[in-house]
Structure 1
């Protein structure tokens, strides 16, 4: 690993909330997570992108909910008792926006050290993986660490948050 990559891995070390989509494990920087809530009534909003499940009313605040399975191109599955919404704060043009991420199951908080991190893989020109901060290798598991600010494009964020 180059010195720049080593510095980047040092910067990525920290606590991550892990969750599952199917068999895959993902992690979000814990500081981006506001709360985790169980499944609740989600009101669908017409003419929104297919990965937008709808909106929830969380203590009087309307929050858009993105279905990460659909956003990542995974097959849809029925919601279960483990399905939950991770409420996150994302940054867009120096503004903080609140959004819900619908996931199959929340796992645990992992403390990932720099020696457990690898840079995100490169798949060639047309595959955009800017939203992957890096890959964590923890207890024989591979955890894809996500940059929640880049998981959606700026246009997608504007579309989703305009339905609040």
Structure 2
């Protein structure tokens, strides 16, 4: 039943461990972006521009902009460096197509999830609205949820742009 360990498995595990270590820098970046978003949100010019019903989640929108402009690309390139030479395990063509298709669909959703949460959060059902309220309601929630969403978006970008092609083009 179990044929033995794949010879490339220890290297893959070490590479993914390096990617896991990037969560701490992602959270540190999240703290910095939350503080910057809070400072930008308090500027009188921003209040005049946003105003109305969107004034409550303006800090979260500023945070998401900073996250997509700085954190996601930075984490993506660090993940790409950590996973350079990554060789996925051997699988049949059907499995590779299934994994690639499912991975691509899930990754696209993960990349845009912060925008989805902010855009449709106020009108979402209970759990979705809870995530929205945590993300946009206070500084601590923005830091925690934003850090996880930013790390997830960077990992999903790597999977979509680098991982899925490696699985398919084997």
TM-score (structure 1 length as normaliser): 0.25
TM-score (structure 2 length as normaliser): 0.25
Higher relative contact order (CA 8 A, sep 6+): 2
| Structure number with larger C-alpha Rg | 2
Write 1 or 2 for the structure with the bigger share of helix.
2
